[in-house]
Amino acid sequence: MRVNQFKERGFLDTTGELVERVPDDVRVSSSAVILADDRYVLLQKRSDNEFWGLPGGGMEPGESPQSCVQREVHEETGLHVKITCPIRTYTDMEDFTIMRYPNGDLIQYINFLFLCVKTGGVLTLCDETIDLRYFPSDKFPKNTLLSVSLRVKDTLDHSDRHHCVK
């Protein structure tokens, strides 16, 4: 896609900023929707941009999307999780798959989303996480990544259809 065609499409990155050029790279990631009682969703406040997002991150060589989400959730939250359901794979830039990093890099992610349940661990902060909180699924903080609402909606719709959460 040529640069001027790209600008005309009007893609937004996951923070809501207009993306005016082709991303620098494409990477693969996994993320988790972790639900508590009454459809509260665990969000992680990221240290790189101070936005709230879902726990998750980039796959490492030789890793499956499933093992990636379990590793990333543990690294970023201190929790151990079991995957309840695969929800969806996001590839389209219209689904807020572009992340802008503080150094200016634009990365388009192919993201595997999973519904997960906590099996152990204690919420713990790390270098990538400056806060962890559960929020009602219909009331996220102002500085929440645009991808969160879409992915939580898709998860809840999937769960309602397939009864993934008891």
Share of the chain above pLDDT 90, in %: 89
pTM: 0.94
pLDDT of residue 166: 64
pLDDT higher than threshold 60 for residue 1 = no
Asked if residue 115 has pLDDT above 90, the reply is: yes
pLDDT > 70? residue 76: yes
Q: What is the CATH number of domain 3-158?
A: 3.90.79.10
- The pLDDT assigned to 3 comes to 53
Of 3-7, 82-86, 105-109, 123-127, which range is least confident?
A: 3-7
Q: Please count the CA atoms within 13 angstroms of the CA of 113 that sit on its side-chain side.
A: 24
> pLDDT tier at 165 (50, 70, 90 boundaries)?
confident
pLDDT on residue 37: 83
Secondary structure of 8-75 in the HEC alphabet?
A: HHCCECCCCCECCCCCCEEEEEEEEEEEEHHHEEEEEEECCCCCEECCEEECCCCCCHHHHHHHHHHH
- pLDDT above 90 (res 156): yes
